[in-house]
A and B are shown apart, each in its own frame.
Chain A
Amino acid sequence: MHNWVYKGLATGIRTTTYPARPDERPGISPGRPRGTSLVQPAAEALARICPTQAITQQPTGAAVDHRRCVHCSRCRRDLGALSMDWESGFEWGALAEQTLTAGRRFKKIFGHSLHIRFVDAGACGACMSEARQLNNPYYNIHRLGFFITPTPRDADILLVAGPVTDAMRVPLLKTYEAMPKPKRVVAMGVCAVSGGIFGPSFISAGGVSDVIPVDVVIPGCPPPPLAILHGLLLAVERAKPAPLFSAAPSTSA
């Protein structure tokens, strides 16, 4: 019989310091473009090169709509020096439009541990894999009071990935309806936020908010585990939201 217990102890603690302290280790996030001040021809060229129309031209440069950006990196590489600024970091969780008008009594009711239910509504596997990493020793969401629950009846948070395919519409609705109130919905990944490169189409919705109300969105293709963690913390008001739109800084800045 192999001594796994000893093996585990000998490995030591690998867990991230986030959210108590920032984590800046290499490779934890792919980063993403941010609004860049540029002269007009370059901004126009970048808006044209963006295959998902995430980059738009503004008077002072180019802006990024994070709901559409899939990190294809074309705006970073294709035009050499005239490229978008790229930011590292992972605190990408943002409030969905619907949330801004909704009540905010969630934390008072669920002050302690939170139970999460995950639904795959047509995700490509990368979002799934990143969500799965939350349970691994590097992220270990249990230490923050988050648990994955096998039943929607126990769930406080519904974490959804994928653009919501036609066949997953009913299972997603049934899961949502089976959850007791109050509940929050977190849409992770660009597909779940806006339909991404798949939706809206004949077979996919344009994101989770087409089917059920969404409270928090986590852009990214896929959002890295720490971004998902940030989104979950945001859903219980333990973190500050990031903007969904990154405008070009004014030229004076």
Chain B
Amino acid sequence: MAATLQSQNTDTWRSLDRACAARWPGVTASTDHGLQIVHIATPHDTLRPLCLWLFKELDYRFSTLVVEEHPAYWQLTYVFMDPVDHGWVYIEMTQPLTQKSVISIGDVIHAADWHEREAEDLFGLHFEGHPKLGEFVLHEDWPEGVNPMRKQFDARQPLPEHNPVAVWQPPTIVQAPGAFAMPIGPVYSDFAEAAHFVIETTGENMLRVLPRFFYKYRGVEKLAEKKTVDEALLLAERFSGSSAFAHGWAFCRAVETLCAAEPPPRMSALRAAFAELERLRHHVATITSLCAATGLSVAQAQGAILEEELLRLTAEICGHRYLFGLLTPGGLMQDLDNGHIKRLQERVQDIRVRLEIFQTDLRYSSSFLDRIEDVGIITSDVVKAFGLVGPVARASGEQSDIRKLFRYGAYASLEFEVPVEIEGDGYARLRVLFREAVQSVSIIEQVLNDLPPTGPLSTPLTPRGGAALGCVEAPLGAAYHWLRLDDDGHIQRYRIGTPSYRNWHAFRVAVEGFSFQDFPIILSTFGLSQAESDR
């Protein structure tokens, strides 16, 4: 163990360009020390071995795949992250538009599997060697050969002619006496997001779970194209309402990186406070839904009271219950006055005390613990293979947190802990949620106690051409927003890599083998958003 850590430390991204040149003759690598990025341009032949080398030997994490269509060529950027010494590796491969075939890496780097399937549906690229392509983002009835992310496709034209399937019949695999398939969704009995699961079972245990997602695909990435940065900000904030501020911030960070602009210090600090307020509310909402799923109705009511109070507090200090309309590239749209700061300080202290009481109450409810302990287990191997992020990954021993790794914005000077648990079950995820919520309160307190003096609301900036990646730690984990602007400041490509997308991929692994009644509980401990995943 010590030996592998040693080798990782000497092989960080800082020396990767030299290591790369020595090992791969046809490959050119250059390092941007300011932005902490290693650009590796590779021909198609070395794409797969290079990715596998990074992933398997150097232990880098796959972050996202960005496919871009330029007038004459495809550009594929495989973004990897160095989790030890924070830095990015962009593996860039270009090929002519007529060449639609790309080698697949999804069979080894499982985290890339969904990215490849999505690119196949939306761009019409074919990933050689991928075991399962087609019918992913666009369902079975979508006309063949219509790829909405291609440049010639007009997003404002009405739906192409097609006949929706009335009843979708999944391929059932489980063959056993009494085996049957149980469909769930996309319309639920309560307030739940649209998604469909087919559970194959012989009666008690879920032998195989087949999810069918993208019922909520709204083509956000396509709708953003040709828009100005200000117009697209509405989409960035509103495609996933439960983590609006985090995604808006990631979008703004991409714009700010492109323009080499930093928000004023006070606004930078307030952004961290608002992001933590959102994380706090998000985690309380997830805990509440877990109490609902386990049938603990008084606890559910207690959690719902806390959640509603946080929503009201948010609206009181910034005008919107879900923090919409607060961000602008270069800063914020409004400041907090002293009255609001005092109010926020008082309320979060009160909420911290009540959260701790709430956690103790739940810890002594044995009927509740029975439902979440040793249930829905995610092992650390699964975390790595699927590239899981956020509280789900941190409940299985993964340390990674973008706030700690990249120290963006005000997080550079804030003291906080990244809670990690190792069991990987529902209870570990619950503990991570509680501990993170308490950390969020502590971050808000630190920010407000040491707020820089009042100044401008934002740094003026003029969007300019180029591409940049903006990343933040959203409530559910790492969010990557890739933005390419043309010289007039209009969007050419907007790619959103969301934490729910990563974690839904592994949800199936967590539920298979457990019994039927555990399904809604495991679902709640993951706390994922369909809107964030489907975009």
A sample of 20 more A-B contacts (CB under 8 A), given A120-B194, A136-B304, is: A2-B365, A4-B296, A8-B301, A11-B301, A11-B305, A25-B312, A73-B325, A120-B186, A120-B530, A122-B194, A125-B241, A129-B322, A136-B305, A148-B191, A167-B214, A168-B215, A201-B218, A202-B154, A202-B160, A221-B324
**Are B218's CB and A163's CB within 8 A?**
yes
Q: Which residue of A lies closest to B148 (CB)?
A: A202
Binds A, one of B170-178, B229-237, B406-414: B229-237
Please name the residue on chain A nearest to B315 by beta carbon.
A27
CB distance from B84 to the nearest CB of A (A): 34
| Bound CA span A172–B194, Å | 11
A residues near B298, Cβ cutoff 8 Å = 4-5, 7-8
Rounded to whole Å, the gap between the CB of B155 and the closest CB of chain A is 5
Knowing A27-B313, A120-B194, A203-B218, say if A133 contacts B235 (CB, 8 Å).
no
Most B C-beta atoms less than 10 A away, residue of A11, A74, A203: A203
A30 and B189 within 8 A (CB) = no
Q: Which residues of B contact A125 (CB under 8 A)?
A: 193, 240-243, 529-532
B324 to chain A, nearest CB (A): 6
Query: With A27-B321, A167-B217 in contact, do A137 and B305 touch (Cβ < 8 Å)?
Result: yes
Q: Mark A133-175, 1 if CB is under 8 A from B, else 0.
A: 1011110000000001111100000000011011111111011
> Judging by beta carbons under 8 Å apart, are B194 and A118 in contact?
no
Choose from B186, B193, B304, B531 the contact partner of A171 (Cβ within 8 Å).
Answer: B186
- Among B205-233, those with CB < 8 Å from A are 214-220, 222-223, 230-231
Interface pair A7/B361, CB less than 8 Å apart? yes
Residue of A nearest to B192 (CB): A120
When C-beta atoms are compared, the residue in chain A nearest to B234 turns out to be: A197
Give the CA-CA distance A28 to B308 in the complex, in Å. Answer: 9
- In the bound complex, what is the Cα–Cα distance between A52 and B164 (angstroms)? 31
In the complex, how many residues of chain A place their beta carbon closer than 8 angstroms to a beta carbon of chain B? 72
Q: Helix, strand, loop or mixed for chain A's interface?
A: loop
Question: In the complex the two chains form, what is the Cα distance from A77 to B216 in whole Å?
Answer: 32
Whether B231 contacts A51 by the Cβ 8 Å rule is yes
Q: A2 contacts B241, CB within 8 Å? A: no
Most buried by A among B156, B160, B301: B301
B242 close to A126 (CB less than 8 A): yes
Interface: B316 (CB within 8 A)? yes
Q: Are A73 and B160 in contact (CB under 8 A)?
A: no
Instruction: Report how far A131 CA is from B188 CA in the complex, Å.
Output: 14
B332: shortest Cβ distance to chain A, in Å?
Answer: 10
- For A79, the chain B residues whose CB sits under 8 A away are none
**For A129, what are the chain B residues with a Cβ–Cβ distance below 8 Å?**
241-242, 285, 322
Residues of A within 8 A of B322 (CB): 126, 129, 222
Complex alpha-carbon distance, A60 and B284, angstroms: 47
How far apart are the CA atoms of A2 and B334 in the complex, in Å?
A: 44
B139 at interface (Cβ–Cβ under 8 A)? yes
* Chain B nearest Cβ from A132, distance in angstroms: 4
Residues of A contacting B334 in the complex (Cβ-Cβ under 8 angstroms): 77
Query: Would you give the shortest CB distance from B302 to chain A, in whole angstroms?
Result: 7
Indicate whether A128 reaches chain B with its CB closer than 8 angstroms.
yes
A29 at the interface (CB under 8 A from B): yes
Question: Is B314 an interface residue when CB atoms closer than 8 A count as contact?
Answer: yes
Interface residue? B111 (CB, 8 A): no
Query: CA A2 – CA B298 in complex, angstroms?
Result: 11
Given contacts A4-B298, A27-B321, A168-B216, contact A202 B159 (CB under 8 A): yes
Does A89 make an interface contact (CB < 8 A)?
no
Q: Mark A51-79, 1 if CB is under 8 A from B, else 0.
A: 11000000000000000001111100100
Whole-angstrom distance between the alpha carbons of A120 and B148 in the complex?
23
List of A residues within 8 angstroms of B2 by Cβ:
none
Query: 3 closest pairs, A vs B, by CB?
Result: A126-B241, A27-B312, A150-B189
- Select from chain B the residue with minimum beta-carbon distance to A86: B319
B157 in contact (CB, < 8 A)? yes
Say whether A197 contacts B241, CB under 8 Å. Answer: no
Tell me the smallest distance from the CB of B371 to a CB of chain A, in Å: 15
Name the A residues within 8 Å of B243 (CB-CB): 125
Interfacial chain A residues near B188, Cβ < 8 Å: 120
CB A56 to nearest CB in B, in angstroms, measures: 18
Q: Which of A11, A118, A121 contacts B302 (CB 8 A)?
A: A11
Contacts of B366 in A (CB 8 A): 1
A133–B153 CB distance below 8 A: no
Q: Does B158 contact A (CB under 8 A)?
A: yes
- Tell me the bound Cα distance from A168 to B220 in angstroms: 16
Q: How far is the CA of A8 from the CA of B298 in the complex (A)?
A: 6
Closest chain A residue to B166, Cβ basis: A170
Contact call B325/A72, Cβ cutoff below 8 A: yes
- Chain B residue nearest to A78 in the complex (CB): B333
Is the pair A2, B361 in contact by a Cβ cutoff of 8 Å? yes
A133 closest partner in B (C-beta):
B308
Does chain A have a CB within 8 A of B443? no
A26 CB contact (under 8 Å) in B214, B215, B315, B367: B315
